[in-house]
Amino acid sequence: MNAANAPEVLVVGDLFADLVMSGFEAWPRPGEEVFAKRFHKEIGGGAAITASGLGKLGIRVGVVGVVGSYDGQWIKDQLRAQGVDTSTIRVSVAEPTAITISVSRALDRTFFTYNGANRELPALLATLIDNQDFHSARHIHLAHAMDPEKLPGAFESLKNNGRTLSVDVGWHPEWYADKSALAALKLVDVFFPNEREGEAMTGEKDPCRMLKAMQIAGLRRVAMKLGRNGAALLWDGDIVFQEASAIEPVDTTGAGDCFDAGFLYGWLHGMEPKQCLRTGTACGEMSTLALGGIAGFPCKEELETILCNVK
């Protein structure tokens, strides 16, 4: 990897081919069939979506993940089109690229997933933690539920090498219940749960109480996604909220991962925490105006225009 062109951010996680269907009038009962009004195929998974968002905003970003040999090139081509470096993506000869069928309605979605080549990601990570390419990045974003027992050692190694860290593991309630995971999250610079994950982690139902519980547990910085209610932020003891805009979503797939990209973009550019929250919320909202996780994500110029009108 050329040091001059090396990614400043590495996003680590599962990669998917997403088949997104939306426009259903009703949810079928067993044995019934319903027809989608819209269909879209796109790269998916938190790693791919967050990396693509950062790439669209001009950040030098790379992805660490595993794809299958049959359709993996399509995944790489889609990522490169968004400005993402794919040199740290490995190809599995044993498994196909993971696939997710996303059934999306206006305010929610359901996923059916085969994990495929993503099963080989833990072994890949074990070989990369001490690799120079891994440590050359300025920031590591983990979009994967890595083995909690291995997290503290891996995070300490990265932190000792001057890397900053952010984490969004998605919906893995058993991960949040593990004490090793909590210990590792204390080392993270920004943690990105959504409201449901925050409830699973703390047992609280109110976002403010969730953030206070996380603070008591030793977490310093948490950017929490609240869906139609916007977002909330715990930052070095302060808690602030960002209201959502009045929009009509088309597809909510990947909105949280787009929020992550917007927030990280702001943070890496030295924005104040509240402005980072606004930026993340704007990117998440814009992503819902098109099918798939990344099609609606704004470019840098569009984002700047949006932020001028966001309070």
Average pLDDT, the chain: 91
For 184-209, write each residue's pLDDT tens digit. Answer: 999 999 999 999 999 999 999 999 99
**Does some domain include residue 31?**
no
Q: Whole domain around residue 151: which residue ranges?
A: 7-25+36-307
Bridge-partner residues for 40, per DSSP?
20
Q: Give the highest mean pLDDT range of 98-112, 151-165, 230-244.
A: 230-244
Number of domains in the chain: 1
CATH code, 42 = 3.40.1190.20
**Does some domain include residue 263?**
yes
- Residue 248 has φ and ψ, to the nearest 5°, of -110, 100
**Does some domain include residue 30?**
no
For 121-160, write each residue's pLDDT tens digit. Answer: 999 988 877 665 566 789 999 999 998 888 888 888 888 8
pLDDT at 1 over 60: no
Considering only the C-alpha atoms of the chain, give the largest distance between any 2 of them, rounded to a whole number of Å: 57
Q: Are 280 and 138 in contact (CB under 8 A)?
A: no
**Does some domain include residue 174?**
yes
Identify the CA nearest to 47 among candidates 128, 187, 141: 141
> What mean pLDDT do residues 44-56 have?
96
Q: What is the pLDDT of residue 2?
A: 54
Reported as half-sphere exposure (CB side, CA atoms, 13 A), residue 291 has a value of 18
**Does some domain include residue 177?**
yes
**Does some domain include residue 158?**
yes
For 270-309, write each residue's pLDDT tens digit. Answer: 999 999 999 999 999 999 998 778 889 999 999 998 888 7
Tell me which DSSP letter residue 194 carries: B
Q: Kindly list the distances between the CA atom of residue 132 and the CA atoms of 84, 127, 136, 153, 161, in Å, as whole numbers in the listed order.
A: 19, 11, 6, 17, 10
Rounded CA-CA distance 234/271 in Å is 15
**Does some domain include residue 2?**
no
Q: 275: Cβ–Cβ under 8 A, 6 or more apart, which residues?
A: 266, 307
Check the CA dihedral 179-181-183-185 and report its sign. negative
**Does some domain include residue 1?**
no
Reported as half-sphere exposure (CB side, CA atoms, 13 A), residue 242 has a value of 30
> What mean pLDDT do residues 245-252 have?
84
pLDDT at 5 over 80: no
Rounded CA-CA distance 117/75 in Å is 12
pTM for the structure as a whole: 0.90
Which pairing describes strands 98-105 and 16-22: parallel, antiparallel, or unpaired?
A: parallel
> What mean pLDDT do residues 87-91 have?
94
77's tokens: 């081509």
Q: Kindly list the distances between the CA atom of residue 29 and the CA atoms of 26, 32, 33, 34, 102, in Å, as whole numbers in the listed order.
A: 9, 6, 8, 9, 17
Rounded CA-CA distance 31/186 in Å is 47
